[in-house]
A and B are shown apart, each in its own frame.
Chain A
Amino acid sequence: MDQDEQDRALPIANVSRIMKQILPPSAKISKEGKQVMQECVTEFISFVTGEASDKCHKENRKTVNGDDICWALSSLGFDNYAEAIGRYLHKYRQAEREKINHDKKYENPHINRAPPPPLLLSRVTRDKVENPPPSPPNQSG
């Protein structure tokens, strides 16, 4: 694997699998289609994280948390994502509390937390895209 591909960091097989889950059974994805999505998603993560980091910096905090990610999404114009992620966080924290209570009751640290249900944002958001999101970060260097 060449250095360029290593720098992308996100495994193309995982990206491809997520793409396939939303496509009809007969559809195919070209290799270049997968790689474009790989690049795009990496950029998206950097974009949102950069915004969250600015907020932490201004508030003199060192740790980026889930609320910062939600705030960043809203700040960058991804309001529908922010709402859905906010609901996800609520369920996430409930699940964590239940896990703690359950572990205390049975003293079994190996019990796995059930994952929260997947978001169904795609179906909602595609009908609501009115305000385009702002620019991705400027490429440095």
Chain B
Amino acid sequence: MMDNVGGSSSNIAENSGIIREQDRLLPIANVGKIMKQILPPNAKISKESKETMQECVSEFISFVTSEASEKCRKERRKTVNGDDICWALGSLGFDDYAEPLRRYLQRYREQELDRANNPPKRG
């Protein structure tokens, strides 16, 4: 699918450009898989439901990332990190998400340290 529409002379702003659906959303198979994990074994999920969740989740990512980005801008930092995401969740009222994710971050960093101290054997 063409990303640019119209004549070359018209300067389409980046934000108003067409974003392909496959770039705008998370893959429907993965979304459906996660939905299934929480449902009882005999439950089914309509295609419409999966697509609804796809839209919702992409929006959620944008929402949280936008808040984190604003914090980075104010602090004149270029890189959004894990703490910024946790802070954004708290800032937007998702406090109960922020706490488990901080614990996740701590375990993640410990795991990274282990990996650095014990590099996997090659060959």
Contact = CB atoms under 8 A, between A and B. Distances in A.
Interface of A: 9-11, 14-15, 17-19, 21-24, 26-30, 32-33, 35-37, 39-46, 48-50, 52-53, 56-57, 62-66, 68-70, 73, 81, 84-85, 88-89, 92-93, 115, 118-119, 121-122, 125-126, 129, 131-136, 139
B34 interface: yes
B55 A85 contact: yes
A25 to B, nearest CB: 8
B24 to A, nearest CB: 6
A53 B38 contact: yes
Scoring B21, B62, B104, B109 by chain A CB atoms within 10 A of each residue's CB, the highest score goes to: B62
Interface of B is mostly: helix
B75 interface: no
Given A22-B66, A64-B45, A132-B95, A53 B52 contact: no
Given A27-B78, A119-B55, A69 B49 contact: yes
B62 A18 contact: yes
A30 B81 contact: yes
Interface residues on B, range: 35 or more
B115 to A, nearest CB: 10
Interface of B: 19, 21, 23-27, 30-31, 33-35, 37-40, 42-46, 48-49, 51-53, 55-69, 72-73, 78-82, 84-86, 89, 92-97, 100-101, 104-105, 108-109
A66 B35 contact: no
A42 B95 CA distance: 16
B19 A21 contact: yes
B63 A63 contact: no
A53 B108 contact: no
A27 B33 contact: no
